[in-house]
Amino acid sequence: MFNLFKKKENQQQVDNKQDILKPEEQAENLDKDKRDELSLEGTCINEKLDAEDSFAISVGNLKEKVSKTSEGLVSSIISFATGAETIDDDMLDEIEDKLIVADIGMDTAVEVIEKIREKKNSIRPEQLKDIFKQEFAQILKEAGSNKINLKENQLNIVLVTGVNGVGKTTLIGKLAHRYKSQNKKIIIAAADTFRAAAQEQLEIWAERAGVDIVGKYDSDPAAVVFDAIKKAKDDCADIVIVDTAGRLHNKFNLMEELRKIKKIIDREAPDALSESILVIDANTGQNGLKQAQVFKEAVDLTSVAVTKLDGSAKGGIVIGISKELSLPVKLIGVGEKISDLKDFNAEDFVSAVFD
Ligand SMILES: Nc1nc2c(ncn2[C@@H]2O[C@H](COP(=O)(O)OP(=O)(O)O)[C@@H](O)[C@H]2O)c(=O)[nH]1
Ligand SMILES: [Mg+2]
């Protein structure tokens, strides 16, 4: 009853305001009021978003995927330590070089090696592998929870950013498939409107996953996001996944475009942005870290997805990202199939690389 009165009172305020608004603003306000009405009526009470673990990858399978990374990181540590009586500075310098080559990140490599150098007289060379494993596990843990953040009984928006070719569209297709299989209502916002091919590619993924898609080639990306949010509210959708452009040669414009998208999300659906995910290709190594700095500033990243981990020798970037950006890795791409997007589990990752 109270809500009804309140709604009536609000309606009066809106009506009064309409008189002094321009026609396009009036249209926008009416849309908003209609959406408010929908949520007031409680039609958007969605089913519980249950945590499924069928998207986990077994340590055995992960081990196979990260075998090259493991070779680069662990084999070198073992080969330097094998047969040595003590741990000396030269040995640690050489391991440091290997860690940098394996792309765990310069600062991370230096910091971990310095920590071990301080206690080198109290540990044995054969303990090194376990000590590195513990250090890396600690770094991954400190970056935060690896679980994708989705809220119950409300709209969730997942914003996906990253430079061209890293695997954003593929990841969105896989993610849509995952949530669809959990009976969630998904809408994809095709906000990479710059290339017609990008739209077509996403349409194919949407069709494969059996989810709705909003967006038109050459339209304003922020307007696509606006439309997707409107549709999501009208349809009581659970999740809107936003694809974005990634042409970095025009960095300033891209960041402006992304900021505008973020602004629309914050304005139209405050508190709905559950994840702002940066997608990084495992093979890009150090470059990935530099990209992340730029995106972090524009769209308030909450997490990272590392794609193409299958066959990459540079999977150590997972550790560098966690340490140097304080961002947890939450998803990993381990192949091109629709089921090849897995949850990242820090403990399993270090086991797969080190054991
Ligand atoms: N091996 C492998 N290939 C992937 C993975 N994710 C994406 N790709 C491939 O990377 C290429 C670029 O992907 P796309 O999604 O178009 O990247 P976008 O430009 O960021 O949207 C495509 O050929 C994908 O099939 C992955 O996890 N593993
Ligand atoms: Mg794309």
For residue range 111-126, what is the model confidence (pLDDT) as tens digits? 999 999 999 999 999 9
Residue with tokens 């493991």: 70
Average pLDDT over residues 84-106: 90
46 pLDDT tier (thresholds 50, 70, 90): low
The atom of ligand 1 lying closest to the CA of 334 is 27
Counting ligand 1 atoms within 8 A of each CB, the residue from 166, 169, 170, 295 with the most, and so the one to mutate, is: 170
pTM: 0.85
pLDDT at 18: 39
- Percent of the chain past pLDDT 90, that is, above it, reads 69
Measured in angstroms, how far is the CA atom of residue 110 from the centroid of ligand 1?
32
Residue 32: φ, ψ to 5° = -65, -40
> Ligand 1 within 6 A of 175 CB?
no
pLDDT at 258 over 50: yes
Measured in angstroms, how far is the CA atom of residue 175 from the centroid of ligand 1?
13
Q: Are strands 273-281 and 156-161 parallel, antiparallel or unpaired?
A: parallel
> Ligand 1 within 6 A of 303 CB?
no
Number of Cβ within 10 Å of residue 213's Cβ equals 22
Report how far apart the first and last C-alpha atoms of the chain are (Å, whole number): 62
d(CA 323, CA 328): 9
**Contacts made by residues 289-295, CB under 8 angstroms, sequence distance 24+:** 289/105, 289/317, 289/320, 289/321, 289/324, 289/325, 291/162, 291/163, 291/248, 292/321, 292/325, 292/327, 293/325, 294/251, 294/255, 295/161, 295/162, 295/258
Measured in angstroms, how far is the CA atom of residue 222 from the centroid of ligand 2?
16
Most confident by average pLDDT, 16-25, 32-41, 300-309: 300-309
d(CA 137, CA 347): 7
9 pLDDT tier (thresholds 50, 70, 90): very low
> Ligand 1 within 6 A of 167 CB?
yes
Atom 17 in ligand 1: residue holding the nearest Cα: 167
d(CA 295, CA 82): 42
pLDDT at 76: 78
Higher per-residue confidence, 235 vs 24: 235
**pLDDT tens digits along 200-229:** 999 999 999 999 999 989 999 999 999 999
d(CA 62, CA 312): 12
Task: Specify whether the CB–CB gap between 202 and 213 falls below 8 A.
Answer: yes
d(CA 276, CA 150): 12
Task: Specify whether the CB–CB gap between 316 and 99 falls below 8 A.
Answer: yes
| Helix 196-209, helix 168-180: angle, nearest 10 | 20
pLDDT at 77: 84
286 pLDDT tier (thresholds 50, 70, 90): confident
> Ligand 1 within 6 A of 168 CB?
yes
Q: How far is CA 186 from the centre of its chain?
A: 17
d(CA 103, CA 117): 20
pLDDT at 176: 97
d(CA 329, CA 341): 13
d(CA 354, CA 74): 6
pLDDT at 43: 53
pLDDT at 35 over 60: no
Average pLDDT over residues 80-108: 90
> Ligand 1 within 6 A of 174 CB?
no
**pLDDT tens digits along 236-256:** 999 999 999 998 766 679 999
**pLDDT tens digits along 287-315:** 888 888 889 989 999 999 999 999 898 89
Average pLDDT over residues 307-333: 93
